[in-house]
Structure 1
Amino acid sequence: MIHISNTDTRIGWIGTGVMGQWMCRHLMDHGFRTSVTNRTKAKAQPLIDLGATWKETPEEVAAVSDVVFTIVGFPKDVEEVYLGETGILKGAQPGSMVVDMTTTSPSLARRIHSQAKAMGVHAVDAPVSGGDVGARNATLSIMVGGDKDAVDALTPLFEIMGTQIVHQGPSGSGQHTKMCNQIVIAGTMIGMCESLLYGERAGLDLEVMLSSITGGAAACWSLSNLAPRILKNEFDTGFFVEHFVKDMGIALEEAGRMNLALPGLALVNQLYQAVLAHGGARMGTQALMQALKQLNNVA
């Protein structure tokens, strides 16, 4: 198993979007030599300017890395990045470690783990929660699934990116935990937006109202971080709606496999589908407020 050291451990990073660019930068700030690739090179340019080495494919990144991190968009992207013709497992060396921090399906995480293990490569699933703010401030919650020895070896790197790192169990457990997280957030988001609608209709000063309820039993991350954005009509930053809809779809699919009915999640998913239908795919999840305003004919 690799011993993590910022002088010897070579890092690979694939996916330099809203969150990935910050997570990678924290590792670079700690002195790790880093190779990167991304579907769009321009999005990786800030990291290249800071000293990261650009590679054309995931295979090339893996070939020169001891630990490869990925955080991409959708399960199909994860599958391509790991198992495609120029994927990570084409270039990964025996003894190296690969860590998928994308929120994806537990079954795909287990498949990657199985194929990697057959090559002598250690695969871990480690989705995160905390949004762009958590990524930027290195305060993410990281939910980890995989073999304990690999997770233990990777923990020093996780601690650079987050403050809550929990090994949930074997491969796929990190993704199942993230589904639990997203189910809670789905309910929280509709509650937060309906609260703001109610407060506005009742004639309350919403900032004053929030100063009370964010300190009580309703306190939560979404209320503290996303409600202020809604009050400023800031809907274009944060965790993208299209990615949240993807996550809810995975959770509903997994629930179906387990014969679970989740009507609350299904309702929120329908409302977010309305946001998608009105062109909100690349808005932050707080854009749910716009769908609820339309439902209530609120300007």
Structure 2
Amino acid sequence: MTLKIGIVGLGIMGRGMAANFLKHGFTVYVWNRTRAAADHLVDQGAILMASPKDVALHADVIFEVTANDESSRAVCTSPDGILAGADPKKICIASATLSVRWIDELVALCFHKKLQFCDIPLTGGRVGAETGTLTLLCGGDSAIVENLQPVFDAISKKVYYFGPAGKGMRYKLILNFMQALHIVGFGAAMKMAKAHHMDLKKVADALVERPGGVITKIARDRYFNDADPITFSIEWIVKDLTYAKQYIADLDAPLLDDVLKIYNDALSSGNGHKDWASVNRIEV
């Protein structure tokens, strides 16, 4: 039997995931706070529901793909939320990037209601969502994750399993910190090159060619050209780094503090809507 899919939250990631599930022949139930985001998917065959609860009542696997803790809590725990419509046969999946505090609370809520739950945040951005080549970062029961592979095949190229529910989100926060650190470091490298009158394009291209240059390529491309559409905003990385700081509150992590300050300064300057790789951008 082909599992029926639910998508709650139709931003960049949710829209792309829903479209790929439809292309692979899944029945897809969707909900979004604003209906307009669902119109194109409905034209492709998605079924628009009145509430997250209704999505959970009809779908077998429900992906929650919202913006932050507040929106996730609202669509999960309200009287018309996912948990109100789910039963122990359903699989609930949190795919937004959320705080450890909230994901652990959500794990406990699902355990109390005897619901199957996985945290599976995503990486791959807009392109990955649209082309079905996301990387999935899984936490949850290993048997559930294994059984969901036919579902994952419609939206991803790689699946990593990190352990019990909550571990996927912890890894995602680690990953986003590392990537933000890399992007900020690229900006510092360009300043060094400029101070010594070097050809910035040559320096940037050489940095990309070194081992591990994938994130450097993103940073280079966004330093020399405006991002349109953006891959990931300054506002979003501030949210994720803030969650990461909460996650390691008892540890000494000066690099995280420094990177978060740089992005917070950019946010405070009215640049939250800009691509995260534009931080520290220099004139070239």
TM-score (norm 1): 0.88
Amino acid at match of 1:251: A
Cross-structure match for 1:134: 128
Shift of 1:146: 0.8
Which 4+ runs in 1 deviate beyond 4 A?
200-205
The corresponding residue for 1:104 is: 98
Deviations 1:238-259 (A, max 9, x none): 1122121111111111111xx2
Note the C-alpha offset of 1:151: 1.3
- In the other structure, the counterpart of 2:280 is 289
- Paired AA for residue 233 in structure 1: D
Q: Which among 220, 231, 241 is matched to residue 213 of structure 2?
A: 220
Question: Of residues 226, 242, 246 in structure 2, which corresponds to 1:249?
Answer: 242
- 1:236 is displaced (CA, Å) by 5.4
Give the C-alpha shift of residue 105 in structure 1.
Answer: 1.8
Give the equivalent residue in structure 1 for 2:231: 238
Runs of 5+ unmatched residues, structure 2: none
Among candidates 48, 65, 75, match of residue 81 of structure 1: 75
Q: Give the distance between the partners of 1:269 and 1:169, measured in 2 at CA.
A: 28
Q: 3-state DSSP class of the match of 1:278?
A: helix
Corresponding residue of 1:268:
259
Pairing 1:90–2:84 present: yes
Structure 1 segment 140-151 matched on structure 2, within 5 A:
140-151=134-145
In terms of mean alpha carbon deviation, does 241-250 or 195-204 score higher? 195-204
In 2, the alpha carbon distance for the partners of 1:45 and 1:200 equals 48
Query: Which residue identity does 1:120 align to in structure 2?
Result: K
1:14-53 matches, within 5 Å, as: 14-53=8-47
Which AA in structure 2 matches 1:34?
V
Report if aligned partners of 2:218, 2:277 keep a CA contact under 8 Å in 1.
no
Aligned-pair CA distance for 1:94: 2.7
What is the letter of the counterpart of residue 160 of structure 2? Answer: V
Q: Partners in 2 of 1:169 and 1:254 — Cα distance? A: 17
Match of 1:183 in 2: 177
SS, match of residue 279 in structure 2: helix
Say if 2:62 is the partner of 1:68: yes
Q: Could you say what secondary structure the match of 1:253 adopts?
A: helix
Bigger Cα displacement from structure 2, 72-81 vs 132-141: 132-141
Give the Å deviation of 1:204: 4.3
Q: Would you say the 8 A contact 2:120–2:139 is kept in 1? A: yes
Task: For 1:83 and 1:23, locate their aligned partners in 2 and report how far apart those are by CA, in whole Å.
Answer: 23
8 Å CA contact 2:94, 2:118 repeated in 1: yes
Separation of aligned partners in 2, 1:178 and 1:23: 18
Deviation at 1:13, TM superposition (A): 0.3
| 42-51 vs 96-105, which moves further | 42-51
Corresponding residue number in structure 1 for 2:148: 154
May I ask how many residue pairs the two structures share in their alignment? 284
Partners in 2 of 1:289 and 1:139 — Cα distance?
30
Cα shift at 1:120: 3.4
The verdict on how the C-alpha distance between 1:116 and 1:251 changes in structure 2, with shifts beyond 3 A counting, is same
Determine the C-alpha separation between the residues in 2 that align with 1:200 and 1:180: 31
- Give the RMSD, CA atoms, in angstroms: 2.0
- Give 1:18 deviation, angstroms: 1.7
Query: How far apart are 1:200 and its partner, in Å?
Result: 4.3
Q: Report SS of the residue matched to 1:212.
A: helix
Residue 121 (structure 1) aligns with: 115
Q: What whole-Å deviation, never above 9, does each CA across 1:43-68 have from its counterpart, x for those lacking one?
A: 22221221111112111111111010
Q: CA deviation at 1:203?
A: 4.4
Shift, 1:165, TM fit? 0.8
